[in-house]
């Protein structure tokens, strides 16, 4: 053992080869998805006369880095589609707190721990309109 040159071993290697190409592919895919979502939202609004609603299963969400949350916050500030209501549900505290922070200026977002509770809130205004 050579004690002359101290070293730190981490047991893995980071290889950034292809990272920029992968990011470019992701950006292209996100652009295509954005166009599809926008077209679907327009069809929904034309068919119903109302902006769409969204139900998001956030149970598989992982805790994100500050950079990812900042990017999500910027995305939420200038949405491609403005939904009438968005209900997100998860029982995990940290991802929920991060998503709440990213959508803090979006009053149409609500967070729930239960899917049925989220669906009930999501469609409550439609049920009230139907009863009137």
**How many residues are recorded in the chain?**
132
- Which pLDDT belongs to residue 6? 63
Task: Judge contact between 64 and 53, C-beta under 8 A.
Answer: no
Looking at the structure, do residues 21 and 80 belong to the same domain, yes or no? no
Per-residue pLDDT at 98: 92
Establish if 22 belongs to a structural domain: yes
pLDDT digits (tens, 9 = 90+) for 67-121: 888 888 887 887 767 788 999 999 999 999 999 998 998 999 999 999 999 999 9
Question: Does 7 map to a domain?
Answer: no
Q: List the domain range (segments joined by +) for residue 65.
A: 52-131
Number of compact structural domains in the chain: 2
User: Is 123 found in the same domain as 83?
Assistant: yes
Q: What per-residue confidence (pLDDT) applies to 119? A: 95
Confidence of residue 49 (pLDDT cuts 50, 70, 90): confident
Indicate if 109 and 44 belong to the same structural domain. Answer: no
**Does residue 4 have a pLDDT over 70?**
no
For position 55, what pLDDT does the model report? 92
pLDDT digits (tens, 9 = 90+) for 15-40: 667 677 777 777 777 777 777 877 88
Whole-number pLDDT of residue 64:
87
Q: Do residue 65 and residue 92 come from a single domain?
A: yes
10 within domain boundaries: no
In angstroms, the CA 1 to CA 7 distance is 12
Whether residues 45 and 79 share a domain: the answer is: no
The yes-or-no verdict on residue 132 having pLDDT over 60 is no
- With helix as H, strand as E and coil as C, how does the chain read? CCCCCCCCCCCCCCCCCCHHHHHHHHHHHHHHHHHHHHHHHHHHHHHHCCCCEEEEECCCCCCCCHHHHHHHHHHHHCCCCCCCEEEEECCCHHHHHHHHHHCCCCCCEEEECCHHHHHHHHHHHHHHHHHC
Higher pLDDT among residues 62 and 1, named by residue: 62
Q: Are residues 96 and 38 in the same domain?
A: no
Q: What is the pTM of this model?
A: 0.62
Is residue 57 in some structural domain? Answer: yes
Same domain, 61 and 99: yes
């Amino acid at each position: 053992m050579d004690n002359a040159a101290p070293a730190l071993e981490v047991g893995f290697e980071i290889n950034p080869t292809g990272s920029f190409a992968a990011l470019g592919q992701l950006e292209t895919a996100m652009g295509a998805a954005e166009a599809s979502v926008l077209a679907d939202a327009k069809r929904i609004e034309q068919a119903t006369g109302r902006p769409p609603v969204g139900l998001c299963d956030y149970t598989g969400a992982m805790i994100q880095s500050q950079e990812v949350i900042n990017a999500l916050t910027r995305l939420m500030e200038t949405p491609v589609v403005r939904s009438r209501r968005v209900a997100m549900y998860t029982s995990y505290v940290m991802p929920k707190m991060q998503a709440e922070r990213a959508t803090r200026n979006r009053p149409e977002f609500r967070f729930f721990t239960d899917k049925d509770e989220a669906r009930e809130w999501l469609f409550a205004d439609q049920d009230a309109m139907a009863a009137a």
